[in-house]
Amino acid sequence: MQQPGRVLVFATIRLKPRPRHALVLPIALGALALGAAPALAIEPSVSPEPGTPDASPLSQISFRGVPARQLGPISVTGSRTGRHSGHLEGYASRPGASFLVNGSFRAHETVTVRLARKGRVGPLRWSFRVAHLVGASTPPHQAGGGLTTQGVQVFQSRPDLRPPYFATAGGGGPLGPGQVFVAAIRGPGSPMYGQFGPSIIDNNGSTVWFRPARPGDEAFDFHPQTLFGKPVLTWWEGHLSPIGFGEGDWVIANDAYQEVGRIRDGNGLRPDLHDMVITPQGSAFVTVYETLAANLRHFRGPSRGSILDSLVQEVDIKTGLVMWEWHSLGHVAVADSMLSPDPKGATFDAFHTNSIDLSPDGGTVLIGMRNTWAGYLVNVADGAITWRLGGRHSTFALGKGAGFAYQHDMRLINPRLVRMFDNEATPKVGPRSRGLTVRLNFSRHQGTLVRELRHTGTVLSGSQGNVESLTNGNTFVGWGAPPLATEFSRTGKGIFDLRFPGADESYRSYRFVWAGHPKTIPDVVAKRVKGRLTAYVSWNGATEVVAWQVIAGASATALAPTGRPVLRSGFETAIPVSTSGHFLAVRAYAADGALLATSKVVKV
């Protein structure tokens, strides 16, 4: 069922086709026409950008790159709402500040901003347009089918957790270090049979840590990142639209699995599921989607249709302030899309931004768009596109085997190497999906094939997917919609497969080294069946446990070991117990013999 959200719409927008050489979409609004956002070759970088056609009514006025104390008086005037007062709030991660407007702007008005720059000649002045918040038009949603309990793990010590069951197979070479990170969706089905959400999995398919998604929510893109020099886990949770974008929050948790941050509601818009990249300074780049009503008849669509705009925001994690915002509309022509509007009126997803990657200095960002078959290197200072890889107006001619279609997870390995997951569907273009690396030659404006990774089976992924380079030279590929992830050796041989149950899938799949230190204690339950006593013990997220030891006795305060330590076996270890006592607990030990924790005492 469609989850309506707050997205942006103009009452009437006429989208006119451009000549093939044109790179920017003009949007006509009555007598006003907005073309390319003019580049500002000055500091600070400002948002909403000059000429933005669809800024949120709740937009902050962002000044990135200059300390707040160096900003002069700021004047903000709406063509309908008049002069706005407000105040500046500085960023914690980078120099700059946002002017927080008192009240909100009104739909369809033009807002003019004027900044008196201290120590510079002449003011900075620019304008942008404001849109109206409505819901998107989507096709009927087909719910995924459920599974039986065969696709679900069940634990005696944690009956509240019912994660999916994962199967593994492999051989033929050493695997990369660490565990596998996935966020299963669309399964195992009915809540009475199973749950889905972020999962850490070992090489045997056993769960290391699992957190069920909240009722009604789904989780995407789960993996470790670094925040302020410390390891964290990040994932998106929220509502998934039937047309493939999300409205939710990005969650940040520490190594004890405690939430330490959440990114939400930048400029009144909830973040999309496709990507979130944390910077060393403590900001995060996120994808955002909004919807505009549009006349699509020039593109063989309905005259009263709607179109998605794909945004990228940089958000200051500590303050939640929006530092930078980039809109596809105004920079990429609608005619560059490889798709056509739905004549039945479903919202036209012309761009579909699905990946963000930053240059080491943070000065440029590579934005990948599925539905234009292209990646765009964007200058953060002025929003201008430096080069395009793929699509209708590629800066580089793509050589044999270097072309791609409906790609995901586009990454800069270095300034001359780009890696991605090449879907080749949907609709079908090529016979198989693959991991793809392309070398860029800037003097000849050519892109050449460096490497491709294909599964031994015919795997064609209609959505999602990612490619990750591991520290030992291996490559990990998440196949997206197909219920599969694969690790390839340095030579390109498939040496490990992780398979999901039934129709389960994960937007991306990763391998990372992770050390989890939960603040909880181990969970234990003792059960006697036909006179035989067994202790079932688990500790969700504890990665250092190698052995368990049962201690028991006649009272809760007089417990002693009942036998030798038992090696940990999967998420939950079953330990036969021989004791005449009526109380027991279980100790967790690390590889060096250190005692990590002791469970609560339970009565036998």
Q: Has residue 28 been placed in a domain?
A: yes
Same-domain check for residues 17 and 78: yes
Q: Which of 134, 167, 200 is the last residue of a domain?
A: 134
pLDDT value at 330 more than 90: no
- Residue 222 is inside which H or E element, if any? strand 218-227
Same-domain check for residues 593 and 504: no
- Domain range for 548: 523-603
| Global confidence as pTM | 0.91
Q: Has residue 380 been placed in a domain?
A: no
Q: Which of 134, 162, 188 is the last residue of a domain?
A: 134
Same-domain check for residues 57 and 176: no
C-alpha span between 390 and 43 (Å, rounded): 31
Return the DSSP state at 370.
G
pLDDT value at 58 more than 70: yes
The single residue listed with the structure tokens 């050796």 is 489
Q: Which of 514, 542, 577 is the last residue of a domain?
A: 514
Confidence at residue 208, expressed as pLDDT on a 0 to 100 scale = 98
- Residue 294 is inside which H or E element, if any? strand 283-294
| CA–CA–CA angle 302, 54, 12 (5° rounding) | 35
Q: Has residue 210 been placed in a domain?
A: yes
| Structural tokens at position 199 | 């999962």
Percent of the chain at pLDDT > 90 equals 78
Q: Are the CB atoms for 481 and 474 separated by under 8 Å?
A: no
Same-domain check for residues 127 and 168: no
Distance of CA 556 to the CA centre of its chain: 47
| Number of C-beta neighbours around residue 105 at 10 A | 24
Same-domain check for residues 503 and 559: no
Same-domain check for residues 528 and 507: no
C-alpha span between 187 and 189 (Å, rounded): 4
Separation in Å, CA 248 to CA 239, 241, 259, 590? 6, 11, 16, 38
Q: Has residue 47 been placed in a domain?
A: yes
65: domain CATH number?
Answer: 2.60.40.3780
Q: What is residue 371's three-state secondary structure?
A: helix
Q: Among 1-15, 104-118, 514-528, which is the least confidently predicted range?
A: 1-15
| Structural tokens at position 354 | 């699905």
pLDDT single digits (tens) 494-507: 999 999 988 789 99
| Torsion over CA: 581, 582, 588, 594 (sign) | negative
| Number of C-beta neighbours around residue 465 at 10 A | 31
Burial class (CB in 10 A: 0-12, 13-18, 19+), 292: buried
Same-domain check for residues 129 and 194: no
pLDDT value at 413 more than 70: yes
| Structural tokens at position 453 | 């990774």
Confidence of residue 131 (pLDDT cuts 50, 70, 90): confident
| Number of C-beta neighbours around residue 215 at 10 A | 7
C-alpha span between 486 and 494 (Å, rounded): 7
Burial class (CB in 10 A: 0-12, 13-18, 19+), 343: exposed
Same-domain check for residues 17 and 130: yes
Q: Which residue in 250, 269, 236, 246 sits closest to 9, CA to CA?
A: 269
Confidence at residue 121, expressed as pLDDT on a 0 to 100 scale = 59
Q: Has residue 352 been placed in a domain?
A: no
Same-domain check for residues 490 and 535: no
Q: What is residue 89's three-state secondary structure?
A: strand
The single residue listed with the structure tokens 């407000």 is 86
Confidence at residue 187, expressed as pLDDT on a 0 to 100 scale = 45
Same-domain check for residues 195 and 101: no
Strands of 10-93, DSSP E:
14-15, 27-29, 32-34, 45-47, 61-64, 71-78, 82-84, 86-90
| Structural tokens at position 114 | 């004027």
pLDDT single digits (tens) 165-217: 999 998 888 999 999 999 999 744 434 467 899 999 999 999 999 999 988 89
Q: Has residue 276 been placed in a domain?
A: no
Confidence at residue 504, expressed as pLDDT on a 0 to 100 scale = 87
Confidence at residue 122, expressed as pLDDT on a 0 to 100 scale = 63
Q: Are the CB atoms for 264 and 270 separated by under 8 Å?
A: yes
Same-domain check for residues 538 and 592: yes
Confidence at residue 4, expressed as pLDDT on a 0 to 100 scale = 36
Q: Has residue 162 been placed in a domain?
A: yes
Q: Are the CB atoms for 460 and 433 separated by under 8 Å?
A: yes
Same-domain check for residues 107 and 186: no
Q: What's the number of domains the chain is made of?
A: 4
548: domain CATH number?
Answer: 2.60.40.10
Q: Has residue 552 been placed in a domain?
A: yes
pLDDT single digits (tens) 339-388: 999 888 889 999 999 999 999 888 999 999 999 999 999 999 999 999 99
**Sheet containing 45-47: which strands, arranged edge to edge?**
45-47, 61-64, 96-101, 86-90
